[in-house]
């Protein structure tokens, strides 16, 4: 069996995804980071962006994450997000409308959230 790490992706309002993985890629304030089993311990601040989880069974889980923290120790990775949505849960038309609305309102934060949702769907 390949080395694994246990991943918990949690939003402020719910548990989004939990399981075993071989690789997790996330965006932090220091840049993109890839975490594999045996990685040195870390604690970081998450930026808005897609999180990609390569599951132990060879699948891929993608989520749009908006802020929060990433923590890794003893092959346990926690992603504690302010907001997190699995790519499968994202309504593309709604995200596109939100992006257009944010652009016309010059709302940079809303525009960023809509762009991240659409990127997560594209990666998935």
Q: Average pLDDT of each block of 10 consecutive residues along the chain (124 residues)?
A: 88 96 97 96 96 96 96 97 95 92 88 91 82
3-state secondary structure 21-80: EEEEEEEECCEEEEECCCCCCEEEEECCEEEEEEECCCCEEEEEEEEEEEEEECCEEEEE
CB 28 within 8 A of CB 51: no
Give the C-alpha distances (Å, rounded to integers) separating 62 from 1, 7, 44, 103: 23, 13, 19, 25
pTM: 0.90
């Amino acid at each position: 069996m390949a080395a694994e790490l246990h991943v918990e992706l949690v939003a402020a309002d719910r548990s989004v995804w939990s399981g075993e993985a071989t690789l997790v890629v996330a965006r932090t304030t220091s840049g993109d980071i890839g975490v594999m089993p045996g990685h040195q311990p870390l604690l970081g601040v998450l930026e808005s962006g897609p999180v990609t989880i390569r599951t132990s069974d060879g699948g891929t889980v993608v989520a749009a994450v908006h802020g929060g923290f990433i923590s890794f120790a003893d092959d346990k990775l926690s992603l504690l997000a302010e907001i997190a949505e699995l790519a499968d849960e994202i309504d593309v038309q709604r995200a596109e409308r939100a992006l257009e609305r944010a652009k016309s309102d010059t709302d940079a934060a809303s525009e960023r959230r809509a762009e991240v949702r659409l990127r997560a769907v594209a990666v998935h």
